[in-house]
Amino acid sequence: MRDTPAEPTMQHDRHEDPHRVAFAVAYRMLGSVAEAEDVAQEVALRLTAEDGAVENPAAWATTVATRLSIDVLRSARVRRETYPGPWLPEPVLEDPGPGPAERVALADTISQALLVALERLTPVERAAFLLREVFDYDYGRIAEIVDRSEDNARQLVSRAKRHVTAGRPRFDPDDEARDRLVGRFLAAVDGGDLRGLEDVLAEDVVLWGDGGGVVVAAKIPVHGAAAVARFLVHTHPSRRGRADATFAPARVNGQPGRILRHGDGTVDAVFAFDVVDGRIAAIRVVRNPEKLRHLGATP
């Protein structure tokens, strides 16, 4: 299994590992572990070719990773527009190393909710937004990186913030309370308890499933507590002939989550939960095997 680089802090200084920096930028730009790793590797190769002539390798890596990611997004636009069913980012699991304050910051900038919201933006808007709101670059530097005027960089960020804010919920901050809620959710799913499920789901909860046209998943979002509860009970692994499947706790893109594995170790799905006002407001289920390979064995 390929190791995903640990998350760096938000502001990059010259002493940070350029590979980590490049991956952090590219993953937020692309929502793909595999593509982000490709970008990070290309950045490393180009940095080696510079033969020590770069004064601030981390800042240099940010610039190159951003520009490479813009190119990747442009080439992937048609592919994403024709993606079969909902598109979700490839899940990343939290490195247990950072302290609580840093985990909160990271959770807010790699959440699947944010990465999905960023899909509404053009590649350059996405870059400008992330450089400003996540990596805290000033507008002059952003303008240099995306090859725009400083005034245009400000406009890009402002326009992006308007688009993103509408789809970016503020999550409940209490990790223990969120984990307890997810535990109640899983107990209700395992027991086929529809009423128990509805008690932990927000009335307007939405479930997205990403099977990539390869495996079975919800082809359209499922809306509402009653409909989501019925869907989850009906599609439980034990009702699909896989009684050996087990859920393992995980923090997925900074949010409470679970990994569903079969007895032979294959990853069936990764669940990420948005908890808002004491209820589960959104569930994102990634089942596309291509998006799970970096987590270990997949079907």
* pLDDT, tens digit, 9 for 90 and up, residues 106-127: 556 788 889 999 999 999 999 9
Residue 45 · residue 61 · CB < 8 Å = no
pLDDT over threshold 60, residue 160:
yes
Task: Quote the CA–CA distance of 57 and 288 in Å, as a whole number.
Answer: 35
Residue 167 has pLDDT above 70, yes or no: no
User: Is residue 11's pLDDT more than 50?
Assistant: no
pLDDT band at 15 (very low <50, low <70, confident <90, very high): low
DSSP character at residue 10: S
Q: Is the pLDDT of residue 36 over 70?
A: yes
pLDDT in tens, 274-292: 999 999 999 999 999 999 9
DSSP H stretches of helix in 166-267: 175-191, 194-200, 225-234
What pLDDT shows up at residue 2?
Answer: 35
Model pLDDT, residue 107: 58
Mean pLDDT in residue range 231-250:
79
Average pLDDT, rounded, for the chain: 86
